Structures are given as C-alpha cells and as structure tokens.
C-alpha cells in the first residue's frame, strides 16, 4: 500500500515538473488549430476577405459605378409609310469626382485591413474557448485521477484494517473509520466523474476532439508527463509597447478607426453623387422611302443639392469614429493595467505552486512516518487515517495550484490578444 502511494505521488510530481516526456500529445497551438478547422473559422474568414477584396477591385476601376445602355424608338406612323420614325441607342457611364477615386481606393484598402483584423479577432475568440476548455478538462481530469488512486488506497487500507481487526490488532471502531473513509472518497469520485464528463463534452464541442484523441484518456492523465506541453509560456516582457502593437484587439481597433476616417473622407469627396457621361446615337426619317439621318449626342449630368443627406452621413460616420477612438484609448489604458497586474498575479501563482508542491511532498513524508508508527502500534489508527486525508488534500491542492499557474499564463496571453502559437511552447 505504501508503494502504491509513493508511485501516485511520484506520478503527480512528474506531471508538475514535466520531466521524462514519454509521448507527444501536441501543444496548445495544435489543439487551437484543430478547433479552427473544426469550427471552419478559416473558411469564413476567407469569404469575408474575398468580399472586401472584390470591393477593393471595384474602387480601382476607371468608372465610378455600373454603366447602363438605353434603347428607344418613337414613331407617329400608324400603319402608313409617311410619318416620323426615330431610333436611339445610348450608353451612360458614371464618372469619378475629382479625388473621389483615390478616396474610394483608400477606404476599400482600410476595409480590407479591417476585415482581416476582424478575422484575427474571431481566431482570438476561438482561442479563449480552447484555453478555457483545455484547462477546465485537465483540472477535472487530474482531480478524477487523484480521487481514483485515493479510492484504491482507501480500499486497501480498509482491507488491511479488517485483517488486523480479525487478528485483534485494532478495534472495530478503527475498521469502521477506515470503511467510512472509503465510502466518502467513493462518493466524491462519483461526483467528480460527472464533472469530468461535462468538461469533456465542452472540450469536444470546441475542438471536435475527445480526450482519447488528445492522448488524455482516463489512464493517461497522471502517468503521461507530456501533458506539460499543453502549457504556454510567457512572451518577452521587456517591451510592453511591442506587445501592445502585436495585440489582436489593438490591431482590430486601430483598423476600425482608420476605416472610419477613410469612409468620412470618401463621403466628403463624393459630394452630391457621381456625374454621368452619356453618349447617344440616333437615326431618324420622315418616310420609309427616305434614308436615315444620323446624329450623335454627348451629354453630362451633374447631380447637385443633397447637402442634407451628406451632412447626415458625415454625422453618422463621425459619431462612429469618435466611439472607436475612445474605445482604442480605453484599450490602451486597460492594456497597461492588465500587463502589470497580470504579471504580479502570475508571480503569486508561481509562488503558490511551489508552496503547494512542497506541502504535498512534506505531507507524504509525514504519512510514511505515521504509517510505520501505526504498523508498530505506536499511534492510534485514527491518526493514521487523518494523515492520509491530509496527504490527499495536499495532492489536490498541488493540482489546483499547478493548473491555476498555467491557466493564469494562458489568461494573460488571452488578455493581451495573443493566440496559441504566437509564443514559444515549453
């Protein structure tokens, strides 16, 4: 029984230290990429980019819009050969105003960049789902395995107590205490299995992967130290401004501001609307026996007025621009606070992890000593059971501290707009 407990503790400690990697289960970046494929995010982003690219192509055309063709015929002949007949074919082409084409091209380019930033922001949202589901599943799975191992140890202790009771070495109360401890752990294990099932279902909904496909089956969680590869590492902390510039949210907000500025400039350059150049070819005659007289008419129509509608459009875009600029400023301020506060929290979580690991080692050492004292009859059996409970609680606390530390790093990367794979994995 003591050998089993030592193996369990060593296995858990192996997970924490990440030594002796036996199997590569992939990194958080690979799980994230699988989720991207499963949710068809790249395809949706490609369609959005294609739409923006088409509008960029329209802005680079020589004409401002879609040309039109007109065909007309008029006659006052009613079943007779004498009377006016006129046939006309016309072509109308919308023209750019001075400076409008350049403004339209600039607005289309900024829209393309905004669309790409929006796609990156969608990827960041998927990253948040992946990080939450992965760490949630790992946390519950590790607790499940510790409880399962603790249950096996409790059953062994109960059987050992029953044997010693039959030999007259311990009292019936000691055996009942051991039995109740086993029942308590079994109940906790049933509840934990339900929690593990729920988080695994969430993991599958996000990534399309089961725990077995990820190499995280029920038997693999503790015994496989490759789980540490799912942990993410901190980026370089020397240049906060560079981290801000690389933030997906920051890039998206800046793209929104630029696009709003370009849209405002386009509305101002467009004025009341695009002028239209028309070319019309006409043929006419007074009798069917006469030859056609042909004429060509060139005309241009320039819209005017519409200042009220233009002012309304300018006001709407200006309001959106002011809102986006304020949101960008708020994000910059929030980023500065989040950067420092998150780093402080990470340091605290790291210290808590080290303390919890040391407590686990110390509680196991105490348990080993009390087990020997109990077998020698030097202490009451109830004290040994209490030490086993304390060792179990220390194992759970170490798991929580380790997952908290690693998840805090992932939360930090999420808060500064980094998706998995943009920093080195351990």
Residue 424 resides in a domain = no
Distance of CA 414 to the CA centre of its chain: 8
Residue 157 resides in a domain = yes
Residue 19 resides in a domain = yes
Q: Choose between 131 and 62: higher pLDDT.
A: 131
- Structurally, the chain folds into a number of domains equal to 1
Q: Which residues contact 307 (CB under 8 A, 6 or more apart)?
A: 272
Q: Choose between 120 and 157: higher pLDDT.
A: 120
* Residues 396-406: b if buried by 16+ CB within 10 A, e if exposed: bbbbbbbbbbb
Domain of residue 53: give its range: 2-415
pLDDT at 220 over 60: no
Residue 216 resides in a domain = yes
- pLDDT bin (cut points 50, 70, 90) of residue 208 is confident
Tokens of 71: 């065909």
**3-state class (DSSP) for residue 369:** helix
Residue 52 resides in a domain = yes
- β-bridge pairing 293-301 and 68-75: unpaired
Residue spans of alpha helices (H) in 62-171: 100-166
Residue 425 resides in a domain = no
Tens of pLDDT, residue by residue over 319-367, are: 999 999 999 999 998 888 888 898 899 999 999 999 999 999 998 898 8
- pLDDT bin (cut points 50, 70, 90) of residue 125 is very high
Contact (CB, 8 A) for 262 and 55: no
pLDDT at 238 over 80: no
- pLDDT bin (cut points 50, 70, 90) of residue 425 is very low
Tokens of 235: 């980026």
Residue 264 resides in a domain = yes
Taking CA atoms, 206 is separated from 126, 144, 305, 399, 414, in Å, by: 8, 22, 54, 24, 17
Residue 254 resides in a domain = yes
- CA gap 227, 15 in Å, rounded: 7
Q: Which helix (H) or strand (E) holds 74?
A: strand 68-75
Query: 82, 100, 27, 54: which is closest to 410 by C-alpha?
Result: 27
Q: Taking all residues of the chain, what is their mean pLDDT, rounded to a whole number?
A: 81
Query: Residue 351 belongs to a domain with what CATH number?
Result: 1.20.1600.10
Arithmetic mean of pLDDT, 132-139? 88
């Amino acid at each position: 029984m003591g050998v089993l407990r030592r193996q369990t503790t060593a296995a858990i400690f192996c997970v924490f230290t990440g030594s002796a990697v036996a199997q590569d289960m992939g990194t958080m970046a690979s799980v994230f990429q699988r989720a991207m494929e499963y949710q068809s995010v790249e395809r949706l982003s490609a369609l959005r980019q294609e739409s923006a690219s088409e509008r960029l192509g329209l802005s680079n055309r020589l004409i401002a819009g879609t040309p039109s063709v007109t065909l007309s015929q008029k006659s006052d002949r009613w079943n007779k050969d004498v009377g006016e007949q006129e046939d006309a074919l016309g072509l109308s082409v919308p023209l750019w105003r001075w400076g409008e084409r350049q403004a339209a091209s600039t607005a289309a380019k900024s829209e393309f960049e905004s669309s790409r930033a929006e796609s990156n922001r969608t990827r960041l949202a998927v990253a948040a789902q992946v990080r939450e589901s992965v760490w949630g599943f790992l946390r519950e799975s590790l607790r499940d395995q510790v409880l399962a191992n603790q249950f096996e140890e409790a059953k062994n202790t109960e059987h050992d107590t029953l044997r010693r009771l039959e030999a007259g070495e311990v009292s019936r109360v000691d055996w009942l205490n051991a039995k109740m401890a086993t029942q308590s752990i079994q109940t906790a294990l049933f509840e934990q299995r339900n929690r593990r099932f729920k988080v695994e279902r969430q993991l599958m909904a996000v990534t399309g992967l089961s725990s077995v496909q990820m190499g995280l089956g029920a038997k693999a969680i503790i015994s496989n130290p490759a789980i540490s590869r799912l942990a993410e590492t901190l980026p370089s902390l020397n240049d906060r401004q560079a981290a801000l510039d690389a933030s997906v949210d920051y890039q998206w907000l800046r793209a929104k501001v630029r696009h709003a500025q370009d849209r405002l400039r386009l509305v101002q350059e467009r004025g009341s609307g695009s002028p239209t150049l028309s070319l019309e070819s006409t043929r006419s005659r007074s009798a069917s026996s006469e030859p056609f007289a042909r004429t060509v008419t060139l005309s241009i129509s320039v819209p005017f007025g519409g200042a009220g509608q233009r002012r309304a459009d300018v006001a709407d875009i200006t309001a959106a621009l002011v809102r986006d600029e304020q949101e960008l400023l708020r994000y910059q301020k929030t980023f500065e606070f989040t950067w420092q506060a998150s780093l402080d929290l990470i340091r605290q979580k790291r210290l808590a992890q080290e303390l919890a690991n040391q407590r686990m080692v110390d509680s196991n050492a105490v348990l080993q000593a009390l087990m020997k004292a109990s077998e020698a009859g030097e202490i009451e059996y109830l004290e040994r059971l209490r030490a086993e409970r304390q060792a179990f609680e220390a194992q759970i606390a170490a798991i929580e501290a380790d997952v908290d530390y690693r998840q805090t790093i992932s939360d930090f990367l999420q808060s500064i707009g980094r998706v998995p794979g943009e920093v080195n994995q351990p």
